[in-house]
Amino acid sequence: MKQLFSPIRVGRYPLSNRLVMAPMTRSRAELDGTPHVSAATYYAQRADVGLIVTEGTQPSDDGQGYLTTPGIYTDAHVAGWQAVSTAVHAKGGHLFIQLMHAGRMSHPDNTHHHRQGVAPSAIAPGVPMFTAKGMQPIPEPRALTTEEIRQTVADFRFAARRAIEAGADGVEIHGANAYLVQQFFAPSANTRNDQYGGSIENRARFAIEVATAIAEEIGADRTGIRLSPGAKLWGIDEGPQGPALYRHLVAELDKLGLAYVHVMHQGDEPLLADIRRLWKGTLILNRPGRAREQIGADVVSGLAELEAYGQMVLANPDFVARLKTDAPMNDADHHTFFGGAARGYTDYPALSPAEV
């Protein structure tokens, strides 16, 4: 455990410990994508982790998929995030804003522009999605033209610049969980025959171009990426070449010298070992549903430099203090994950000073 609480440098930042708040969508932003004022309180409460990765945040209008998720491209977004960064820094914490383009995981009823979603190919994910009118099937998306893909890379670059203007310490590219970046990886979502489809090199190209553009814009040492190799979510199937695609991708990312790779891991242990070998930099590992007794095991074994936790941090604003003192954890309330106000957001109790 001691190792978990020891400082570590990630990219250009000295972090106070090796615990990371995993990115979690909370759907409480204003309709124009400006973070709600209470986001500053929510994140500052959790600033005792070494690094906060924020909720998925759209880099452009077309990047939005769900209701009331925040953006980071307008002046209002920057002002909203500025309040969050200031509050987190005042507590000695660090935050990377997760840049999430939903791609085909989008419903026109959820966005202010109501446009059809965009994706590598015009293939619907075949699953329903929550909208203001309840659950609805996700309509078929429109395939991006090659020129539009270049513009989407530029949108990510612009959003990264704006995140830094908002005082964030860096950005994490959301390359996991069936959103746009992973849609490019998967033949089930990508049947393109230009340089972004077909071979594993072509399917990995979009992710590498986004990472390269952001690293150029704000510095590789302020750029991270999240991956979920093999995750079969919402119609995503990377096929038999999936592991080979990740080996190629991670080797290419290694050349860029990014601040970190963040793996949400659910299965293929040999592939995880390959990623660890091919990626020489800092690795953050998130194992969904990990039991409390296992916390710290991956740092101790040397598999990862940092460990990310989602629901435990959501429910325990003083997660690190509770770990240090072996105090019981609050349980996360699933009913208040998405949308709503303070309940289940900023009102989870912290330990009293006497208990710390």
Ligand X SMILES: Cc1cc2nc3c(=O)[nH]c(=O)nc-3n(C[C@H](O)[C@H](O)[C@H](O)COP(=O)(O)O)c2cc1C
Q: Give me the residues that bind ligand X (CB under 6 A), please.
A: 22-25, 55-56, 98, 100, 174, 176-177, 226, 264, 286, 288-289, 309-312, 337
Alpha helices per DSSP H over 279-336? 297-301, 311-315, 319-325
* CB-nearest residue to ligand X: 310
* Rounded Cα distance, 185 and 245, in Å: 8
- What is the rounded distance in angstroms from the CA atom of residue 58 to the CA atom of residue 279? 27
Beta carbon of residue 55, minimum distance to ligand X (angstroms, whole number): 5
CA distance 179 to 306: 24
Give the nearer residue to ligand X in terms of CB position, either 17 or 25.
25
CB of 22 to ligand X, least distance (A): 3
* Residue (155 or 172) nearer to ligand X, CB: 172
The sign of the torsion formed by the CA atoms of 330, 336, 338, 340 equals negative
Residue 104 DSSP label: T
What tokens does 19 get?
Answer: 């615990």
The minimum distance between CB 95 and ligand X, in angstroms, equals: 14
Closest CB to ligand X among residues 197, 307:
307
CB of 48 to ligand X, least distance (A): 16
Q: Taking Cα atoms as reference points, which of 220, 344, 309 lies closest to residue 23?
A: 309
Task: Report which of 138, 52, 32, 47 is spatially closest to residue 88, judged by C-alpha positions.
Answer: 47
Which residue is associated with the tokens 């049947």? 191
Nearer to ligand X, 106 or 197 (CB): 106
Residue with token string 């340089």: 195
Q: How far is the CB of 260 from ligand X (least distance, A)?
A: 14
Distances (CA, A) of 136 to 2, 109, 110, 131: 48, 10, 11, 7
Question: Which residues pair with residue 129 across a beta bridge?
Answer: 136
Spot the catalytic one: 43, 179, 246, 345.
179
CB of 308 to ligand X, least distance (A): 7
Gyration radius of the chain's alpha carbons: 19
Report the residue number, 143 or 320, with the smaller CB distance to ligand X.
320
Is-catalytic flag, 179? yes
- Which two three-digit tokens encode residue 80? 């909203």
- Residues annotated as catalytic (active site), given as ranges: 179
